[in-house]
Structure 1
Amino acid sequence: MSVVNVILAGGASRRFGEPKASHVYQGKPLYEHVKKQLLDAQTIIISHPALLPFFKARGEQAVWLDDEQMRGCGPLAGMYTAMQKQDADWYLVTACDMPFIRKETAEVLSSYCNEHVDAVVPFVQGRLQPLFALYHRRCLPFIHACLKENQLAIKDLLQKLKVRVVPEDELNVTSNEFHNINKRSDLPENGMI
């Protein structure tokens, strides 16, 4: 089973006030906190033009802009771009603003990947967490269809797929692991929530 890690770092970060991926927290940019906790596989970053010099300066090689036709269409555009440009069986898709995720959780999620499911999505804190989840390459035509139909919410995509939902108790998650950062006050000084 081949896997590629995909960090989505192309959002506007309006509420945060600056690009979240490059915001330094506890000595390193948020995206690096995320990258360190992903599966042992190639990591690609989907971003926007303004952040390309930042990522290049950090030595990142695989940084791509959303497909031109899909640019500005949110996470689905990033997923589409990653699957179009990089061959793999599975894609661990994560947002750049989840600095508390853990490699152990990614590994448990990957253990649910098989030929009978299209996506493996955790269910934590009473809701699905589709931006720290695994998607099979066979999702690509469904993602493309959602984009063409302007159905840009990931929940629209999930309705078209065979999804293995993994409950919180099977993941042994920490209390803050799926906390995403929308504004600066969401980042506690000590790293705990």
Structure 2
Amino acid sequence: MKTAGILLAGGASTRFGSPKAFAIWNEKYFYEWALAALQSVCQEVAIVTRAELVKNFPTNLHVITDDEAFLGMGPLAGIYSGMQQVDADQYFVLPCDMPNITGEILETLYDCPFQGDVMAVQTQDTYHPLVSIWQNELKNKLFLELRENCRSVMRFLAKVETTWVDGTLLVPNSANMFQNMNRPEWK
């Protein structure tokens, strides 16, 4: 079974003020932390970003943009675009703005019992739908959702069979580990 990674690195970063993928944390870009984590569990990783950011990534990486029909439609479009361009049985999705996520955490998630369409992480009262594994069979449903201009990841996950994994099973200090960096003052 082939597992591919989809690294979401194309958000508008409005609150952050600059592209989060290229923010530096512990001497590495945010996207480099996510890429290393995904590479530990995936045979191939695609970085999905905006067209104007493609040139900022090293040329040896598989960098793609959203499907033309769904440009600028958020994470669901990024996930669909990754599924369209990389053939796999399942997809490990990770946003670029969670630099605390490690390969060990993803390996533990990967080893959790999983039935259904999507397996994602929940910590206390917070859902993390973009730290998740998606089955390839969802590609057509994603297409139909996007075609109807539906962009909400949580609404989509409510329509499919989603397994929520308790983050404390993956790492004891899960609330901090799954925190995304939305503002520049995170430093």
Which residue matches 1:132? 131
Which residue matches 1:61? 61
| 3-state secondary structure, aligned to 1:123 | strand
Alignment of 1:114-153 (within 5 A): 114=114, 116-153=115-152
Q: Please tell me the residue identity of whatever aligns with 2:101.
A: I
Q: Please tell me the residue identity of whatever aligns with 1:147.
A: L
Q: How many residues align?
A: 184
Structure 1 pair 27–59 and aligned structure 2 pair: CA distance change class (3 A)? farther
Which residue matches 2:91? 91
Which residue matches 1:73? 73
Could you tell me whether the CA contact under 8 Å between 1:45 and 1:63 is conserved in 2? yes
| 3-state secondary structure, aligned to 1:120 | strand
| 3-state secondary structure, aligned to 2:177 | coil
Q: Which runs of 5+ in 2 are unaligned?
A: none
Which residue matches 1:44? 46
State the Cα distance separating 1:93 from its structure 2 match.
0.6
Could you tell me whether the CA contact under 8 Å between 1:13 and 1:182 is conserved in 2? yes
Per-residue deviation, residues 66-101 of structure 1 (Å, max 9, x unmatched): 001000100000011111111101111111111001
Structure 1 pair 43–75 and aligned structure 2 pair: CA distance change class (3 A)? same
Which residue matches 2:176? 176
State the Cα distance separating 1:40 from its structure 2 match.
4.2
Partners of 2:28 and 2:126 in 1: CA distance: 29
Which residue matches 1:190? none
Q: Please tell me the residue identity of whatever aligns with 1:168.
A: G
Partners of 1:129 and 1:73 in 2: CA distance: 19
The normalised TM-score by structure 1 is 0.89
Could you tell me whether the CA contact under 8 Å between 1:37 and 1:103 is conserved in 2? yes
| 3-state secondary structure, aligned to 1:35 | helix
Q: Please tell me the residue identity of whatever aligns with 1:48.
A: R
Per-residue deviation, residues 91-147 of structure 1 (Å, max 9, x unmatched): 111111110012122112212365x31111111131221111100001112211211
State the Cα distance separating 1:164 from its structure 2 match.
1.4
State the Cα distance separating 1:173 from its structure 2 match.
4.2
State the Cα distance separating 1:165 from its structure 2 match.
1.3
Could you tell me whether the CA contact under 8 Å between 1:7 and 1:43 is conserved in 2? yes
Q: Please tell me the residue identity of whatever aligns with 1:118.
A: D
Q: Please tell me the residue identity of whatever aligns with 1:97.
A: D
With 92-101 and 38-47 compared, the bigger mean Cα shift is at 38-47
Per-residue deviation, residues 2-32 of structure 1 (Å, max 9, x unmatched): 1011111111111111111012222121100
* Cα RMSD, aligned residues only: 1.5
Percent pairwise identity: 33
Could you tell me whether the CA contact under 8 Å between 2:25 and 2:99 is conserved in 1? no
| 3-state secondary structure, aligned to 1:131 | strand
